Amino acid sequence: MSDIKRVKSALISVFHKDGLEPIVRQLNDLGVTLFSTGGTEKFIRELGVDVVPVEDLTSYPSILGGRVKTLHPKVFGGILGRRENTGDLEQLETYEIPEIDIVIVDLYPFEKTVASGASEQDIIEKIDIGGISLIRAAAKNFKDVICVSHMDQYPEFLDLISKQNGELSIEDRKRFAAKAFGVSSHYDTAIFKYLNRDAGELQFRESFDLAKTLRYGENPHQKGYFYGNLEQLFDKLHGKELSYNNLLDVDAAVNLMNEFKGEKPTFAILKHNNACGLAQRDTMHQAYVDALAGDPISAFGGILIANGRIDARTAEEIHKLFCEVVIAPSYEDDALQILKGKKNRIILVQKDIALPESNFRTALNGVLFQDKDNVTDKKEDLKQATSHQPSDSEVEDLLFASKICKHTKSNTIVLARNRQLCASGTGQTSRVDALNQAIEKAGHFEFDLNGAVMASDAFFPFPDCVEIADKAGIKAVIQPGGSIKDQLSIDYCNEHKMSMVFTGTRHFKH
């Protein structure tokens, strides 16, 4: 601890008053002079605590409907004045500007106003000007001033002034300054993103306030953190904390299952971000059983997700498997009791909220940003490429396989039959390798590929894949098309009575 300063004065101007009372009373007990404005001043006065209106300090009323209250040299001079600078101190004395040692500000709720669907006029009025200026000024002068910039910081600040009898160190003030600039930068980012919906400026800005320390990163020797609010998306009912790798798998699972939202009972099992089992059936129990049959070996330690309610009968089957996470929109009470039988098994209830519309990731010394792949191939999108047409059931399977393919790491080939994933080749450098991997895997788990369909995330530059698929018993293919040599694959299919449809949309996933 070093450079201890005892606080003597405080400026308090907050939107939310929750949790403020004990701070006000503690400052009053410490003999701190309080300055305040508007509703906060009234709140303090009603507590029976003396408070100096900012208007008395500035000799200027609040004007422009409250837009200008604290923007005055007598306020900012007291905050920014450097206590070790003789010139600053002389000017403070000359202009009768009191030193301000504490600034407590809670900004207008801009993000909540935007989320509420309010009018643009109401949203603009929630852009805080005085508060954000006070925060920046106080945080800049952390050598002399401590800035409390958010109501979440109230408990820590109250603990400090109570335990240390109003004496704060430079370490305390600098730590709160870092928090303050975190608050101000997040606030400005939210405003920029709102205005940039129409402006379309090519500038990358993202900010997440909530941080969660993970056990480690992708590997035990790496530190890992999650920034964001998982509680917006899930209710966690049971189990250990989600790990870095769990979160990546959960992200993949949620995005995959979003393709089957509102459809028949569908169950998926994922491992390392890829589906190793997925089936759609008339009951959730059968959907799970058939998803597991896709690859019961890879399912060990996997992530399980359903698009509907998990019942007790399904839970009994799940309980036989060691799995890291189970996700569903709801559970029967008996099902929950069964699933909670493994103390570390993570059980999540997924809430019905919109997923982000964009993706970004670090690359080299910058960031790659893109719109999310929100295109789901539909029947009306299909272009018949061959003379032989797929049957209605084959079209159903082709679209089913295409959804899985879209969420599988490239290069990928997905084989499916009767709305069940038979096998996939994932993350291969060659599309032929991906197909051979899928065929071999399907054979290993005794799937009959006669009558199965094949989906590819990108076009076939040569006819080798359709030839290999044909010899494995596959008779229907879905792919984007677009190769200058598409005709070679079309000719092979025509000669061997295979049907092939083009979607016109590539679904690379890296």
- Active-site annotation, residues: 140, 272
Token digits of residue 7: 């606080």
Radius of gyration of the chain (CA): 31
Residues 6 or more apart whose CB falls under 8 angstroms from that of 169 comprise: 1, 2, 3, 4
Token digits of residue 368: 């790659």
Token digits of residue 276: 């190793």
Distance of alpha carbon 319 from alpha carbon 96, whole angstroms:
74
- H/E run at residue 477: strand 476-479
Q: How many CB atoms neighbour CB 362 within 10 A? A: 8
- H/E run at residue 405: helix 392-406
Residue 154 contacts residue 19 (beta carbons within 8 Å): yes
DSSP, res 358: E
Token digits of residue 311: 């019942």
Sheet of strand 52-53, all strands in order from the earlier edge strand to the far edge: 52-53, 33-36, 9-14, 102-106, 146-148
- Residue 290's Cβ-side half-sphere holds a number of Cα atoms within 13 Å equal to 21
